[in-house]
Amino acid sequence: MPSLVWGCVGPHESTIQVQTVVSTLVQFSKLVSDSTTSEGIFSLLAQTVVENCGAFHSVVFGTSDRGDFAVLSSYGGCDEKALSRLDLDEVYSLAELRTAVMKVCGDWGYSFRVFPLICEAKLFGALVVLYSDSHPRTDKQWILIEGLTELTAISLNKTYQHQKLQKAFDDLRISQDALVRTEKFRALGQMSAGIAHDLKNLLSPLMLSTDLIRDAAGKRDEVLQLSERMDRILTRGLETVERLRDFSRQSPEEVEAVPTDLNSMVQEAVEISKPRLGKIKLVPELGTPPVIRIRPADCVAAIVNLLFNAVDALEGKGTITVLTGASDGGGWVEVADDGPGMAPEIRSRILEPFFTTKGDSGTGLGLSIVYAFTQRHGGRLEIQSEPGHGARFKMWFPAIQEQTAEEPSQSSRHPG
């Protein structure tokens, strides 16, 4: 870069010096832009000030996150041992830096001037320029140095903002990865708890059925009916376990949905639920719902969940009504009870996973599983309940178009 001569000059020389200032700033800007590190920028500044401004020596100080100063670059004719006498302990401001430099400047035999490196109110450091009092100084020389420090501060700020943005991006990526892992574990835990919940609902009646078999020993027809019921329960239990393989599946096509008769699903769910009814009266009111496309095992599990939820609400006495029908171009199944109903604040949260009003005896998963089932199959879950007026849960699913409708699969048509 061209050198700026110190001293008094005429008009012609003054014009040349202005051009030199501009040229020096342009070239310095290009060099700084190419530098990828703060250390490289500091080194360029220190060298440029000495080689192009006629300074005796220049020292660039940087600031740490704590606010203290440290020598990052030094260039010129000053003895490095003299620089080592700089005491920067407890130096946290430009005023304190000036004082520290002043203490040793007399030993060097030179005057000095401090130029802060500030951009957007952030202090990145300072440039200390040493010069001889025997050489005259001009405003253009100081203007050039000020221009160099401003360009340096801008470049340092750009580097700082880039590093800040990169850190924010890295932190965001780490947070996202952690969130994904957390969500996977949460979903896995919810899925496992849901399957365990369904298996308990499906398989617990087997214990009662075995008791009934022992009581019905010698009564061939009753034993045959009980064994058929146990076979259906075990089949649904195995299908529920199979859902572990379907964890990532979302759409009806991906969950092996088949044309299904809702009435058959209700009859099967009622059979599974009978051992838990006790003195509760169960009234089926089956209409003529259209054939829908769902996964039978999931449908039975959902209806069983609704029935068991009603049983828990009734606390041993009352009536449960199971209805089916057609509306809005689809089929529906509804489970209603004449229990105590729900307060609005409870009704607004009952679909939240793990929310329960049953204390340690509840998992808070039954209704969330039902809701997830309806969503996977393009349906909806409607809930009506008021304190003292029972509760009604209706699952609605779109009907299969007549021109593409198929016969319900055998797996969905178990005898009642």
Q: Is 246 inside a domain boundary?
A: no
260 shares a domain with 408 = yes
Cβ 88 vs Cβ 66: under 8 Å: no
Q: What is the chain's mean pLDDT, rounded?
A: 77
User: Last residue of some domain: 77, 105, 137?
Assistant: 137
User: Last residue of some domain: 113, 137, 161?
Assistant: 137
Question: Can you read off the two tokens belonging to residue 334?
Answer: 């509804």
Q: Is the pLDDT of residue 271 over 80?
A: yes
Q: Is 114 inside a domain boundary?
A: yes
Q: Is 186 inside a domain boundary?
A: no
Domain count, the chain: 2
How many Cα atoms occupy the beta-carbon half-sphere of 139 within 13 Å? 2
Nearest CA-CA partner of 196 in 364, 349, 358: 364
Q: Is 164 inside a domain boundary?
A: no
Cβ 67 vs Cβ 85: under 8 Å: no
Amino acid identity for residue 92 in this structure: Y
405 shares a domain with 263 = yes
Identify the CATH number of the domain in which residue 113 sits: 3.30.450.40
399 shares a domain with 260 = yes
406 shares a domain with 262 = yes
Sign of CA dihedral 210, 214, 215, 221: positive
261 shares a domain with 404 = yes
Q: Is 199 inside a domain boundary?
A: no
Q: Is 34 inside a domain boundary?
A: yes
pLDDT in tens, 183-229: 655 665 666 666 666 666 666 666 666 666 666 666 677 777 777 77
Which residues share a beta bridge with 59? 74, 128
Q: Is 145 inside a domain boundary?
A: no
The helix (run of H) or strand (run of E) holding residue 31 is: helix 11-34
Q: Is the pLDDT of residue 371 over 80?
A: yes
Q: Is 372 inside a domain boundary?
A: yes
pLDDT in tens, 51-81: 877 778 888 888 887 878 888 888 887 766 6
| Whole-number pLDDT of residue 415 | 37
Classify residue 151 by its DSSP letter: H
Domain with 39 in it: 11-137
Local confidence band at 178 (pLDDT 50, 70, 90 cut-offs): low
267 shares a domain with 128 = no
| Whole-number pLDDT of residue 320 | 96
User: Last residue of some domain: 85, 115, 137?
Assistant: 137
Cα 174 versus chain centre, distance: 10
Cα 224 versus chain centre, distance: 54
Identify the CATH number of the domain in which residue 277 sits: 3.30.565.10
The rounded distance, in Å, linking the Cα atoms of 298 and 279 is 27
